[in-house]
Structure 1
């Protein structure tokens, strides 16, 4: 299971962006994100693909630190994330703090939750690394590369990229439809696709999802879509 803790950057000199951010996350798909404290939001996300969607959306704006915790979640169906417990929540807290310390790097971190004696014994066999540490680091690296792509896009590039996404990525004739919608040439759309890294982003997203799922399996968190009691989140 994945827990995401996302904190607003530079909140002391900026407006409160949390309400608009939560509303925008709801448009991405079903979420249970809530304000946790101050200008921070938290949610439990069962699906790795949705974690990638949320992380890249947050990084796109440049206003958020993104922490992803991988571990167990103890939360009744329909309950607030503030009522949750488990290693995933602890890991998400550590992850967002690491994201804040990322300096000039993309402000995102993925951290595994610890699982007690069994995990420590297995970690000893892995040469001292905590369970899932390597797998989380690999997922973090790919997500940061994707984050760099989305952060460096211009507004003009986002107009084209968003239109492509609305029309359905990869469909025949999509670029022609987007050109007509935006009132630009098909050649302009093609150049923008090349410069924006749009194709590279969508080719790499499945790799990020796979690595997150691998980290979840390695750490031993709840299976996707279940809570501590096996009920859907």
Structure 2
């Protein structure tokens, strides 16, 4: 199981953004719903590693969030709220979000897994950090294009070009600059590493 603890950066000097975060993450599937946990933090419990990747990169793109990903056990029966949850995944998520605050110029995320699987958790964190670097480096103009692209769909670049009134070549160049095609493959790699860490727990 995966627990995400997400902490707002600079919360003492900026408005409360937790409602904005909960709305951002609402489409991401959970086992226990996204909720404010304490103060400037939110938490969710997820089962699918691909959803963990989606939630993490949404937070990185939005900016101003520290993301801690904890992998491990969650005590059953599951409570109605993450705030009442117990288990090693919750402890790991707390450790991870605290470490995410110390990543410096790197994407502000961290992954903590079960004892004995720190190597795989570190690999998952490294792949997510690389993805985060690309996400952080994209311009608004690139995002306008990328948000309209559909992976694996023929003719999508032409359709996007028509929608935005630009050339297909401009769409292709933007996707290449942003490493969009590579991201699709690397997202799968990150999800597999997260799943492997979970299975070995």
TM-score range normalised by the length of the shorter chain: over 0.9
Q: TM-score when scaled to structure 1?
A: 0.83
Structure with higher Rg: it is 1
Instruction: Summarize the alignment of residues 81-230 of structure 1 with structure 2, pairs less than 5 Å apart.
Output: 81-113=82-114, 130-164=115-149, 168-219=150-201
Q: CA deviation at 1:65?
A: 0.3
Q: Which runs of 5+ in 1 are unaligned?
A: 114-129, 220-233
- Secondary structure of 1:41's counterpart equals strand
Q: Which runs of 5+ in 2 are unaligned?
A: none
**Partner residue, 1:12:** 12
- Secondary structure of 1:33's counterpart equals strand
**Partner residue, 1:3:** 3
Q: CA deviation at 1:29?
A: 3.9
Residue by residue over 1:177-224, the C-alpha shift from the partner in whole angstroms, topping out at 9 and shown as x without a partner, is 0011111111110110111111111111110000001101112xxxxx
Residue by residue over 1:31-77, the C-alpha shift from the partner in whole angstroms, topping out at 9 and shown as x without a partner, is 61100111110110111000000001101112100000011001544
Question: Whole-Å Cα distance in 1 between the matches of residues 61 and 76 of structure 2?
Answer: 30
Question: Number of residue pairs matched?
Answer: 200
- Secondary structure of 2:151's counterpart equals coil
Question: Whole-Å Cα distance in 2 between the matches of residues 34 and 208 of structure 1?
Answer: 25
Question: Whole-Å Cα distance in 1 between the matches of residues 86 and 79 of structure 2?
Answer: 14
Q: TM-score when scaled to structure 2?
A: 0.95
Question: Whole-Å Cα distance in 2 between the matches of residues 193 and 162 of structure 1?
Answer: 11
Asked if the contact 1:146–1:204 (Cα under 8 Å) also holds between the matched residues in 2, the reply is: yes
Which has the higher relative contact order, 1 or 2, with Cα contacts under 8 A spaced 6 or more apart? 1
**Partner residue, 2:70:** 69
Asked if the contact 1:75–1:83 (Cα under 8 Å) also holds between the matched residues in 2, the reply is: no
Asked if the contact 2:68–2:93 (Cα under 8 Å) also holds between the matched residues in 1, the reply is: yes
Question: Whole-Å Cα distance in 1 between the matches of residues 143 and 77 of structure 2?
Answer: 39
**Partner residue, 1:80:** 81
Question: Whole-Å Cα distance in 2 between the matches of residues 188 and 45 of structure 1?
Answer: 37
Question: Whole-Å Cα distance in 2 between the matches of residues 206 and 196 of structure 1?
Answer: 17
Question: Whole-Å Cα distance in 2 between the matches of residues 177 and 17 of structure 1?
Answer: 35
